[in-house]
Amino acid sequence: MGMKVGIIGCGSITKFRHAPEYRANPHVDEIVFFDRNLQRAKELAQQFGGRSVETIEELFNDPTIVAVSDCSSNEAHHINTAQALLHGKHVLCEKPLAISVKHAEEILKAQAASGKKLMVDHNQRFTKAHQKAKEIIDKKELGEVLTFKSSFGHQGPESWGVDKSNATWFFKKERSHSGVAGDLGIHKIDLIHFLLDDEIEDVHAFYAALDKVDENGKPIEVCDNVVCALKTKKGRLGTASFSWTYYGSEDNSTTIYCQKGILKIYHHPEHQLIVETKDGAVIKYELEPIQTNENQTSSGVIDAFIDCIIHDKEPSVTGQQALASLKVIEKILGENGI
Ligand X SMILES: NC(=O)c1ccc[n+]([C@@H]2O[C@H](COP(=O)([O-])OP(=O)(O)OC[C@H]3O[C@@H](n4cnc5c(N)ncnc54)[C@H](O)[C@@H]3O)[C@@H](O)[C@H]2O)c1
Interface residues for ligand X in 252-281 (CB under 6 A)?
Answer: none
Task: State CA 103 to chain mean position distance.
Answer: 17
The answer to whether 155 contacts ligand X (rule: CB under 6 A) is no
Q: Toward ligand X, which CB reaches closer, 84 or 274?
A: 84
The answer to whether 21 contacts ligand X (rule: CB under 6 A) is no
Other Cβ atoms within 10 Å of 201 Cβ, number: 15
In the bound state, the residue with its beta carbon closest to ligand X is 11
DSSP output for 208-236? E--S-B-TTSSBPSS-SEEEEEEEETT--
Q: Nearest approach, Cβ of 74 to ligand X (angstroms)?
A: 5
Q: Toward ligand X, which CB reaches closer, 99 or 274?
A: 99
Residues 85, 120: Cα–Cα separation, whole Å: 13
CB 153 within 8 A of CB 242: yes
Residues 202, 60: Cα–Cα separation, whole Å: 40
Residue from 21, 94, 158, 303 in contact with ligand X (CB under 6 A)? 94
Q: Nearest approach, Cβ of 173 to ligand X (angstroms)?
A: 15
Q: Toward ligand X, which CB reaches closer, 127 or 272?
A: 127
DSSP output for 14-41? IIIIIHHHHHH-TTEEEEEEE-SSHHHH
Q: Nearest approach, Cβ of 258 to ligand X (angstroms)?
A: 27
Q: Nearest approach, Cβ of 201 to ligand X (angstroms)?
A: 25
C-alpha triplet 255, 258, 263: angle, nearest 5°: 35
Residues 190, 125: Cα–Cα separation, whole Å: 8
The answer to whether 12 contacts ligand X (rule: CB under 6 A) is yes
Q: Nearest approach, Cβ of 240 to ligand X (angstroms)?
A: 17
Q: Toward ligand X, which CB reaches closer, 9 or 179?
A: 9
Q: Toward ligand X, which CB reaches closer, 42 or 267?
A: 42
Residues 214, 158: Cα–Cα separation, whole Å: 10
DSSP β-ladder status, 65-70 and 51-52: unpaired
Using a 10 angstrom Cβ sphere, with 0-12 exposed, 13-18 middle and 19 or more buried, the burial of residue 298 is: middle
Q: Toward ligand X, which CB reaches closer, 48 or 160?
A: 160
Q: Nearest approach, Cβ of 199 to ligand X (angstroms)?
A: 21
Sole window of 12-20, 262-270, 272-280, 281-289 interacting with ligand X (rule: CB under 6 A): 12-20
Q: Toward ligand X, which CB reaches closer, 152 or 275?
A: 152
Residue from 11, 153, 185, 261 in contact with ligand X (CB under 6 A)? 11
Q: Nearest approach, Cβ of 231 to ligand X (angstroms)?
A: 26
Instruction: Compute how many residues bind ligand X; rule: CB under 6 A.
Output: 27
Q: Nearest approach, Cβ of 22 to ligand X (angstroms)?
A: 15
What is the pattern of x (binds ligand X, CB under 6 A) and - over residues 113-152? Answer: --------x-x-----------------------------
Buried-exposed string 171-181: b where 16+ CB fall within 10 A, e elsewhere: bbeebbbbbbb
Interface residues for ligand X in 23-82 (CB under 6 A)?
Answer: 35-37, 40, 71-74, 76, 80
The strands making up 90-93's β-sheet, listed across from edge to edge, are 51-52, 28-34, 3-8, 65-70, 90-93, 118-120
Residues in contact with ligand X by the rule CB under 6 A: 8-14, 35-37, 40, 71-74, 76, 80, 94-95, 121, 123, 160-163, 169, 183
